[in-house]
Structure formats: structure tokens, C-alpha cells
Amino acid sequence: MVTGDATPLFSVSDFVGLVNQAMEYAFGSVLIRGELANFRISKNRWVYFDLKDESASVRFFGTVYNLPGPLDDGMVLEVRGTPRLHPQFGFSVTVQSMRPVGEGSIRQAAELLQAKLAAEGLFAPERKRPLPYPPQRVGLITSSESAACADFIKILNARWSGLDITLADVQVQGEAAPAQLVQAVQWLNQHAVPPDMLVMIRGGGSADDLQAFNNEQVVRAVASSRIPTLVAIGHEVDTSLAELAADVRASTPSNAAELMVPDKSREMMAIRLQLDQSYQDVIRRLGQQRQQDGEAVAHAAYLVDQRLERERREVEGLRQLVRAYDPFVALQRGYAIVHDETGRLVRSASQLAAGTSAVVQVQDGRRRVVVQPERE
Amino acid sequence: MATKSKTYAELRAEFDTLVSQLQDPECDVDQAAKLFEQAIKAADALDKHLQTAENRIAKVKLDTLPAADGKA
């Protein structure tokens, strides 16, 4: 409708629709930096806050999924969103992404998130799992173009062989980084043949450059990975929350490669040493067995000796017994043995008729005698 | 048909088994000699694997991630 002075007249709804259409056409999305004020979360889901500077304030609306972590009024944020005129509640910017900016705000956000996640036990030592050593399949999450990635691969190639590495090429800084890092962790975890371990690396940078690794969603993704994780972000002095949530933290990407796999020349030296020790074991056992064999022979000889001695004693006993029955022993005591003419042993006087001869044997010889009749 | 070459972990497990058998006090000298010979071959295989195998890298761009089951 057009009024008499050519000024268009709208219904309220039409006007709201037109403004939204014009803003969408003019901006698409906007990036606004300002100080956080009136921050509140409703029903654990909806997020309301203002961004302000010295002379203006703008309202924002989003969900908890947009949050990089816990926030506090006074922090400086950079928020990407779409401006919108709500039919009932007026103008606000619907949040697409948000992040703290400036060293102070970044540090404060990280401290708040660290306290929150520590209270949930995400960094607890008892959650830490050992890494497979060495792994066979590795899921590597980093930017393939980065110097950190090149260093990592170079050291890995120098130290170890035969690894299957799936490199999830992600942005490691900037607005898209947190979502890509989370997606990479989840994708590798759901892989049909999952890697033995995940490695997330990034080289050094400013607090702003590294803040994706202090993002709540990223830290939670690392902590909830079913696959053991190794995270190395920045230089030795930098510690991100993703590193604290990882099973193992390395001080630098190069250090991560060193922790992951042994040096192959040292490994082979250790194997040869083990082989050498086994050889020494075999030699020692051979010596022991020879000694045991010698001892066994000596023992057998002892048993044989004992047996022979026992038998010798038994023979001696028998010999003495036989000696006791020896008739010649009786001859020594004065007895005599008499045989008749036919050589039969005389056991009865009736065997000796008068006039016949007999042979009488005494101790020292024998004599033939003639039998006389017995005197009355 | 070509057989799949063994991984380092598989070769290492074989070597470790042989060494533990060698260390078994029940293992007699004849058996130990055979096991030792096998352990030397296993160590040579490990050495060869480490000298010749290469690290394989498959790069996947995040915006072109295939489905987790391997399908595109």
C-alpha cells in the first residue's frame, strides 16, 4: 500500500519480514567484537547476552552448542551471527559461532573451562589409558600444510616403519577449527577399521591461534574418544585443555612422534640383546644339564656300589653257613668219615661185616682198615 | 595367491613367544637349540621389516570425509 505522500505503509508483520529480508540481503552474516554483558543460559539450552562497547549494546541469542566454554561478563568476544528482527522480541543477532579474543579473555575462558571440566573429572589421572606401543594404525588430526605435520611425519619416518596413517586434514585455527577437530575425532572413532590411536598436533602460535584446543566441544571430543589419544599443541610451554584431556600429552609435535614409536635401530639392538641373553640362557642350561648328568652318573655308581656290597655280604653269610656244614671242619675236631669197600658212606655198623675192609678218613689222611668182629 | 605380509606386531609376537619358550626351565637342550634357531630367523624378519617397510599416509580432507564405514 502507498499513502498519499508516496511513503509505503506496512503492516507490522510485513515490516518485520521486509527488514529481515533487507538485512539478509545486505549482510548475510556479521562478525561483531565487543564486551560480554548480561550473559545467561536458560533451561540449559538457550543463551542470551549482549555485546557492548563505550557507546552501544547489541542483543544476541544462541544455543549452548555455540559456546566455546563457560563465559563471564566482561570478557571480550568475537561473535559471528545473522541479524534478525524478531516479531515479538525485537532486534537480536542469532549466533553462529563465538570465541573469546584478546589474551586476557582467552586465558579467562580457558581457566573457567578448565575448572568446569576438572570438576567433572575429565582430566583425572585414572582416566588415562596407555597408548599402543608401537601402534600399527594411526589417526592423525592436523593441518597437512603445517610445518608441525611435516616435522611429525619426518621424525616418524626416521624412527619407525610400516605404519598406516590416516591423516584427517583440518583447520587448526580460526572459526571453523573447533567443529572440524570434533568431526575428525568422531569420524576416526566411527571408522570401520578404527586406528589404534589418535594423534592431534599443531605447532606454536599465539593464544588466539591455539584457542581451538581450549574449546569445550573439542576437549570433550578428545576426552570421550574410544581410541586412546595423544595430543601435542604448540611449544613446550603451551598447555591446552585438549592436551589435559588426552591420554598422553607430548610437549611438541616432534616429541609426539618420539613418544609414539621406538627408534628402529634401538629396537633392533634390544631384540639382538634379548636374543643374546636367550643364547646365554641356553648355554647356561646346557652346562647345568651336563653337571646334572655327571651327578646322575655318580649317584647311579653309588647305588650300584651299595648293591654290590650288600650282595657281597650276603655271599659271605652264605659262605659261613656252608662252612659250618663242611664235614672236613668236623674232621679237624677229631671225627672220622668211613667208606665201605664199595665206597659208600658208612652210616650204620651193620654196613661193616667182620673181615671186610673199609676206608677211614681223618683230618690229615685216610687209611684202609679191616673190620674185626665186635668183642663180647 | 600372494600371502599378506605380517605386521611388525605379529612378527614381534612370534619372536616374544620363542624367547619365552626358550626361558622355560622345562625346555630341554635339544628343543632350546631348535627354538634358538627359530628366534634368530624371527629377529632377522623383524630387522628386514623395519628396514624395508614404509609408512603409508592416506590424507582425507574434512569437507570430503567419506562415511565412517568407508563408503563415500
Q: Looking at the predicted structure, is the pLDDT value of residue A65 above 80?
A: yes
pLDDT surpassing 90 at residue A56: yes
Of residues B22, B27, B50, nearest to A267 (C-beta): B50
Q: Are A161 and B55 inside 8 Å of each other by CB?
A: yes
User: Which chain B positions have a beta carbon within 8 Å of A268's beta carbon?
Assistant: 43, 46-47, 50
User: Would you call B55 and A156 a contact, using CB atoms and an 8 Å cutoff?
Assistant: yes
| Contact criterion met (CB < 8 Å) for A136 and B8 | yes
- Banded pLDDT at B71 (limits 50, 70, 90): very low
Q: What pLDDT score was predicted for residue A326?
A: 73
Of A187-201, A259-273, A276-290, the least confident: A276-290
Local confidence band at A155 (pLDDT 50, 70, 90 cut-offs): very high
| For B19, nearest residue in chain A (alpha carbons) | A278
A168, A107 contact by CB (below 8 A): no
Burial class (CB in 10 A: 0-12, 13-18, 19+), B51: exposed
Answer with the residue of higher pLDDT: B1 or A288: A288
pLDDT of residue A298: 78
Chain A: closest CA distance from residue B60 (Å): 5
Using the predicted structure, report yes or no on whether residue B46 has a pLDDT greater than 50: yes
Q: State residue A6's pLDDT score.
A: 80
Q: Which of B53, B42, B41 is nearest to B16 (CA)?
A: B42
DSSP for A212-227 reads GGG-HHHHHHHHT-SS
CA separation for the pair A158, A256 (Å, rounded): 14
pLDDT of residue B66: 59
For chain A, report the end-to-end CA distance as a whole number of angstroms.
194
DSSP state of A132: P
- Is it the case that residue A295 has pLDDT exceeding 90? no
pLDDT digit string, tens, across residues A98-146: 999 998 999 999 999 999 999 999 999 999 999 999 999 999 999 999 9
> Number of Cβ pairs closer than 8 Å across A and B?
106
List Cα–Cα distances, A100 to A33, A134, A203, A300, B62, in angstroms: 9, 39, 21, 89, 25
The minimal CB distance from B39 to the residues A162, A171, A278 is found for A278
Pairing of strands A229-233, A197-202: parallel
User: Which chain A residue lies closest to B66 (C-alpha atoms)?
Assistant: A187
Mean pLDDT across chain B, nearest whole number? 80
pLDDT, tens digit, for every residue of B49-64?
Answer: 888 888 999 999 876 6
Give the span between the Cα atoms of A335 and A326, in whole angstroms.
12
pLDDT in tens, A178-219: 999 999 999 999 998 999 999 999 999 888 899 999 999 999
Q: What pLDDT, on a 0 to 100 scale, did the predictor assign at position A242?
A: 96
Q: Decide if A161 contacts B55 (C-beta within 8 A).
A: yes
Closest CA to B48 of B1, B5, B2: B5
Instruction: Select from A182, A185, A171 the least CA-distant residue to B61.
Output: A171
| DSSP H helix total and E strand total for chain B | 2, 1
Residue entry with cell 663242611 = A326
pLDDT of residue A376: 56
Of A136, A153, A279, the CB nearest to B7: A136
**Is residue A327 scored above 80 in pLDDT?**
no
Residues in chain B with CB shorter than 8 Å from the CB of A134 are: 8-9
Task: Round to whole Å and give the CA distance between A41 and A46.
Answer: 6
The pLDDT of residue B67 is: 55
User: Could you give the angle at the alpha carbon of A129 between the alpha carbons of A126 and A133, nearest 5°?
Assistant: 150
Reference A187, options A133, A129, A141, A127; nearest CA is A141
Flag whether pLDDT at A309 surpasses 60: yes
pLDDT at A3: 58
Lowest mean pLDDT among A155-169, A288-302, A361-375, B3-17: A288-302
Q: How confident is the model at residue B1 (pLDDT cuts 50, 70, 90)?
A: very low
Asked if A289 lies within 8 A of B29 by C-beta distance, the reply is yes
Of A63-67, A230-234, A287-291, the poorest mean pLDDT is in: A287-291
Radius of gyration of chain A (CA): 55
Query: Distance between CA atoms of A270 and A275, rounded to whole angstroms?
Result: 9
DSSP labels, A299-343: HHHHHHHHHHHHHHHHHHHHHHHHHHT-HHHHHHTT--EEE-TTS
Q: Above 50 in pLDDT, residue B70? A: no
Helix segments in chain A, DSSP class H: 12-26, 103-119, 147-159, 177-189, 207-210, 216-223, 241-245, 253-260, 264-324, 327-332
Say which residues have a Cβ less than 8 Å from residue A122's Cβ, sequence separation at least 6.
A219, A220, A223, A244, A245
pTM exceeds 0.80: no
Q: From chain B, pick out residues whose CB is under 8 angstroms from the CB of A274.
A: 19
Q: For helices A177-189 and A216-223, what crossing angle results, to 10°?
A: 20
Q: Which of A162, A187, A275 sits opposite B49 (nearest CB)?
A: A162
Average pLDDT, chain A: 89
pLDDT cut 70: percent of chain A above it: 97
Mean pLDDT in residue range A68-87: 93
* pLDDT confidence of residue A64: 93
Query: A94: distance to nearest CA of chain B, Å?
Result: 25
Residues of A in contact with B57 (CB under 8 A): 140, 153, 165, 167
Cβ <8 Å between A161 and B50: yes
Measured between CA atoms, how close is B14 to chain A, in angstroms?
Answer: 12
Which pLDDT score is estimated for A132? 94
Q: In chain B, which residues touch A (CB < 8 A)?
A: 7-9, 15, 19, 22-23, 25, 27-29, 32-33, 36, 39-40, 43, 46-47, 49-62, 65, 68-70
